Structure 1
Amino acid sequence: MTRYILRRLAISFGVLFVGSFLLYIMVINSGDPLEDLRQSTANNRDVLIDGRIETMGLDLPWYERYWGWLTGVAGCFYGACDLGTDRSGTDVLSMLQQSASATLRLVTIATFAAIIIGIIVGILTAIRQYSGFDYVVTFLTFLFFSLPVFWAAVLLKEYGAIRYNDWIADPQISVIQAVIAGVVLGFILQGIMGGHIKRRLFTGGATAVFVIVALLYFTYVGWWRSPALGPVIVILVSAAFAVGLTALITGLGNKRVLYSTLTTVGVGAILYFALQPILAEPNWWLLLGLLVSAVVVGLIVGYFWGGYSRGQAMAMSAVTAVFMAAMTFTDHLVYAWGGFLELKPRPISTIGASTPNFQGDFWETTLDWGTQLLLPSILLTLISVATYSRYTRSSMLETMNQDYVRTARSKGLSERTVITKHAFRNALIPITTIIALDFAALIGGAVITETVFGWKGMGAMFKEGLEHVDPNPVMAFFLVTGTAAVIMNLVADLAYASLDPRIRR
């Protein structure tokens, strides 16, 4: 395996070298970097031209300029990274650090959200093949996949930001609007749950009534501008998650795992109240430490409760602990929403990665950061969900028709065990390839998204470099995206060996 990894790394370095060489040649021959100064009528035009020639090294042969860039990149391996400067003399490495942090923040969130949603939807549509739910999801996925990014971004800005900001100033939901929302959601949920006609009517009717009552109640008490979850909701939702996770993975018959996850929720409930003073004004390092502590607590609880299912109990208790930590984090964010609206009356922004000169506490600043991230993340997630759900559905259908799946059913195993332990694991192999490639592709695809939403990320740096015929910012973009593609491909290959031991040979 070590020899294989080293061989792949050597090939990857060769691919990156050839790619960087071709891209550098294409960029420096794509136009005239002095065009704007040649057309200038300024008295010091010649001085400006000479200054730019010196800054960009235009008086040197192209191979010397490329070699200088290549040696600067090689310095990254021993702590002397030098990516040069752009045409104005700004250090490209500092530009890259700022741009990459914005883009990777956007792409990482969108990728993980798309993976989770897409795989879950794909599994459900495979299990419910040719049902009404399957047809609706198929239609929506093809719709999302074919949406032009710039057009979908404009729609999100109009309905997800501008009109929402108008509504949140005086949030009112009429009875007719609540009824329409309840009927639509009830219809969708009954299609997802399926079953005989009585079960569908009960599911749809109960959902519709609940949604109508909830929307009217929230409007009456002014919840939209001063929301709160509270400990009861946090604990109940976390307990429901623990029960659902146990039912999905091991089945509720495994009492040790069930008691382990519920005990984790109980410990989390105690810590919810104990940590209130600390969480009043935390920082990210403190939250990271608390998250790690939550995982450790879950592992310990699973270890003592697990018995013969110790491994499963520890893993699922850790997942439950992470979920409850996320619910606690969300509870504090929701509680801070009212104060955030006072500082920023139009909360959902359409341009930029942050609000200039925003002054608020930790939770209000986090809300500002999140609302800026919301629309572009939704856009990238919708596009990727279509791909993941289609590939997951196709892979699951192919796997579920294999002989070993039929054998598992004939042995009397439950359908949950057949799907989660036999079909899904093998169906993950082609999905792993898509995930690996999509992460690197999203960084490149974020160029359009960042342009529409005014993000100063890698897309803006790449676009400005091309417009100005400035190779160093473009090469910095290539360095990140190319390296990401290579690393993710290597990770995918290693994941193949983990998922299917036959590939290790």
Structure 2
Amino acid sequence: MLKFILRRVAVSAVVLLAASFLMFVLTINSGDPLKDLRESNATNKQQLIDARIAFMGLDLPWYERYWNWLKGVGGCFTGQCDLGVTANNVDVLSLTTQAAGATLRLVTLATLLAIVVGVALGILTAIRQYSGFDYSVTFGAFLFFSLPVFWAAVLLKEYGAIRYNDWIATGQYQPVTILVSAAVLGFVLQAVLGGDRRRRLLTAGGTFAFVTVVMFVLNALDWYRNPMFGAGMVLLVSAGAGVVVTALVTGFGNRRVLYGALTTAVVGVVAYFVFAPVLLDPSWLSLIGLFLLAVVVSLGIGYAWGGYARRQAMLVTLVTGVLTSLAVVFDILVAHWSSFLGLKSRPISTIGAATPNFTGGFWESVLDMGAQILLPTVLLTLISVASYSRYTRSSMLEVMGQDYVRTARAKGLSERAVITKHAFRNALIPITTIVAFDFAGLIGGAVITERVFGWKGMGALFADGLNHVDPAPVMAFFLVTGVAAVLMNLVADIIYASLDPRIRR
């Protein structure tokens, strides 16, 4: 395995070197970096031209300029990273650090959401092939995949931000809106669950009645402006998550695993009360420390309850512990929503990665960051979900038709075991390929998204550098995206070798 990894690293380094050379040559030959100054009427025009020539090294041969950039990148391995300066003598390394942080935060969240939602939809549509649910997801996937990014972004800004901000001022749904929403949810749920006509009607009718009652009650409680969740709901959600994860990973044959998951949920809620003083006004460092503590405790509970299935029990309790931690954070954010609205009456932003001069506390600042990142994340997620769901469905259908899957069913294994232990594992290889390419592709594709939403990330850095024929920011963009692409493909290769040892040869 070590030789395999080293070989892939060496090949990746050669690819990066060749690609960086090509990118540098194309950028410096894409226009005149002094064009704006040549057309200037400034009295000190010549001094400005001379200064830019000195900043950008335009008096040097192209190969020497590339070599200087390459040496600066090489200094990153010794702690003396030098990515050069822009045409205006601004340090590119500081610009890249800020831009990469914003873009990677956006792309990482969108990729994780797209993987979870897309893979889950792909598995469900493969299991329910040619059902109404399958056709609905297929239609939605092709629709979202075909949407022009800039057009979808404008629609999201209009309906997901501007009109939502107008509505949240009162936070009340009209009766017609409630009835239409309940009808749509009832129709979708009966299509997902399927069954004969009687079962579909009962599902649709029950969903319609339940959603209608709940939305009217939430209106009466003014829940949308002053929401509540509470420790009881955290426990209910965490326990439900533990039951679902147990059902997916091991089934209910081994009750010790289920007890471990439920114990993790209970311990998580108890810890919520114990650490409440810390969670009132934490720091990111303290939150990370508490999360790591939750991981360790969850693994310990799984180890204690596991018995002969200790490894599976630890996996179940780990996932349950992570979901419990997320439920706790969600409860805290919900509790701070009303105070956030007091500070920012129009919560969903359409421009920028942060609200200037925001004066809220820690949790209000988290809500502000979430409101800023919400729309571009939704846009990138919808586009990626389409491809993930289609590839997962295709891969699952191909695998589920193999002889070993039919043999597993003939041996009497449960459908859960057939899907999760036999079919899904072997369907992961093509999905892994898509994830690796999509992560790097999203960074490049986020250029348009960032421009529409005014997000100062790698897209803005790349566009500004290209417009000014300035290779330093363009090469910084390439460095981040290129390294991300190479690393993700290296991770994909390692996962390949783990999933199928034959690939190592």
TM range (shorter): over 0.9
SS of aligned partner of 1:173: coil
Alignment-derived partner of residue 212 in structure 1: 212
Alignment-derived partner of residue 118 in structure 2: 118
Alignment-derived partner of residue 12 in structure 2: 12
Summarize deviations over 1:226-250 as a string: whole Å, max 9, x none.
1110011111111111111111221
Alignment of 1:30-429 (within 5 A): 30-429=30-429
Stretch of structure 1 that moved more, 269-278 or 330-339: 269-278
2:103 maps to a residue whose letter is T
SS of aligned partner of 1:170: coil
Please give the root-mean-square deviation of Cα atoms over the aligned residues, in Å.
0.9
The share of aligned pairs that are identical, in percent, is: 65
Summarize deviations over 1:208-259 as a string: whole Å, max 9, x none.
1121111111111111111110011111111111111111221122201111
1:425 maps to a residue whose letter is R
| 8 Å Cα contact 2:466-2:474 kept in structure 1 | yes
Deviation at 1:203, TM superposition (A): 2.1
Stretch of structure 1 that moved more, 379-388 or 177-186: 177-186
SS of aligned partner of 1:171: coil
| 8 Å Cα contact 1:174-1:216 kept in structure 2 | no
1:332 maps to a residue whose letter is I
2:69 maps to a residue whose letter is W
| 8 Å Cα contact 2:245-2:319 kept in structure 1 | no
| 8 Å Cα contact 1:496-1:503 kept in structure 2 | yes
| 8 Å Cα contact 1:106-1:377 kept in structure 2 | yes
Query: Take 2:70 and 2:284, find their aligned partners in 1: how far apart are those partners?
Result: 36
| 8 Å Cα contact 2:351-2:455 kept in structure 1 | yes
Query: Take 1:256 and 1:500, find their aligned partners in 2: how far apart are those partners?
Result: 31
Query: Take 2:448 and 2:12, find their aligned partners in 1: how far apart are those partners?
Result: 27
| 8 Å Cα contact 1:450-1:459 kept in structure 2 | yes
Q: How many residue pairs were aligned?
A: 505
1:283 maps to a residue whose letter is S
Query: Take 2:255 and 2:504, find their aligned partners in 1: how far apart are those partners?
Result: 36
Summarize deviations over 1:294-321 as a string: whole Å, max 9, x none.
1111111111111111111111011101
Deviation at 1:16, TM superposition (A): 1.0
Q: What's the TM-score, normalizing by structure 2? A: 0.99
Deviation at 1:18, TM superposition (A): 1.1
Query: Take 2:4 and 2:302, find their aligned partners in 1: how far apart are those partners?
Result: 36
| 8 Å Cα contact 1:446-1:459 kept in structure 2 | yes
Deviation at 1:285, TM superposition (A): 1.0
Alignment-derived partner of residue 489 in structure 1: 489
Deviation at 1:200, TM superposition (A): 2.0
Query: Take 2:230 and 2:383, find their aligned partners in 1: how far apart are those partners?
Result: 34
2:476 maps to a residue whose letter is A
Stretch of structure 1 that moved more, 72-81 or 448-457: 72-81
Query: Take 1:234 and 1:331, find their aligned partners in 2: how far apart are those partners?
Result: 7
Q: What's the TM-score, normalizing by structure 1? A: 0.99
Deviation at 1:391, TM superposition (A): 0.2
| 8 Å Cα contact 1:333-1:367 kept in structure 2 | yes
Alignment-derived partner of residue 438 in structure 2: 438
2:338 maps to a residue whose letter is G
Deviation at 1:205, TM superposition (A): 1.8
Deviation at 1:9, TM superposition (A): 1.5
Query: Take 2:269 and 2:16, find their aligned partners in 1: how far apart are those partners?
Result: 50
2:412 maps to a residue whose letter is G
Query: Take 2:496 and 2:75, find their aligned partners in 1: how far apart are those partners?
Result: 33
Stretch of structure 1 that moved more, 16-25 or 113-122: 16-25
Query: Take 2:269 and 2:38, find their aligned partners in 1: how far apart are those partners?
Result: 69
1:414 maps to a residue whose letter is S
Deviation at 1:122, TM superposition (A): 0.1
Query: Take 1:294 and 1:209, find their aligned partners in 2: how far apart are those partners?
Result: 39
Summarize deviations over 1:173-226 as a string: whole Å, max 9, x none.
122211110110011011111122332222222221121111111111111111
2:30 maps to a residue whose letter is S
Alignment-derived partner of residue 501 in structure 2: 501
SS of aligned partner of 2:226: coil
| 8 Å Cα contact 1:56-1:86 kept in structure 2 | yes
2:392 maps to a residue whose letter is T
Query: Take 2:502 and 2:409, find their aligned partners in 1: how far apart are those partners?
Result: 23
Unaligned runs of 5+ residues in structure 1 are none
Deviation at 1:504, TM superposition (A): 2.9
Deviation at 1:3, TM superposition (A): 2.0
Stretch of structure 1 that moved more, 417-426 or 50-59: 50-59
2:423 maps to a residue whose letter is A
Stretch of structure 1 that moved more, 239-248 or 433-442: 239-248
Query: Take 2:18 and 2:504, find their aligned partners in 1: how far apart are those partners?
Result: 29
| 8 Å Cα contact 2:4-2:504 kept in structure 1 | no
| 8 Å Cα contact 2:76-2:82 kept in structure 1 | yes
2:356 maps to a residue whose letter is P
Query: Take 1:66 and 1:253, find their aligned partners in 2: how far apart are those partners?
Result: 63
Summarize deviations over 1:416-459 as a string: whole Å, max 9, x none.
11000000000001000000111111100000000000011000
1:495 maps to a residue whose letter is I
Stretch of structure 1 that moved more, 109-118 or 252-261: 252-261
1:59 maps to a residue whose letter is D
Query: Take 2:239 and 2:74, find their aligned partners in 1: how far apart are those partners?
Result: 52
Deviating above 4 A after TM superposition, structure 1's stretches of 4 or more consecutive aligned residues are: none
| 8 Å Cα contact 1:144-1:383 kept in structure 2 | yes
Unaligned runs of 5+ residues in structure 2 are none
Query: Take 1:2 and 1:273, find their aligned partners in 2: how far apart are those partners?
Result: 46
Deviation at 1:4, TM superposition (A): 2.2
SS of aligned partner of 1:43: coil
Query: Take 1:310 and 1:22, find their aligned partners in 2: how far apart are those partners?
Result: 52
1:6 maps to a residue whose letter is L
2:373 maps to a residue whose letter is L
Summarize deviations over 1:271-313 as a string: whole Å, max 9, x none.
1222221111011111111111111111111111111111111
Summarize deviations over 1:459-479 as a string: whole Å, max 9, x none.
000000000000000000001
| 8 Å Cα contact 1:126-1:396 kept in structure 2 | yes
| 8 Å Cα contact 2:92-2:476 kept in structure 1 | yes
SS of aligned partner of 2:350: coil
Stretch of structure 1 that moved more, 417-426 or 54-63: 54-63
Stretch of structure 1 that moved more, 76-85 or 203-212: 203-212
Query: Take 1:197 and 1:309, find their aligned partners in 2: how far apart are those partners?
Result: 42
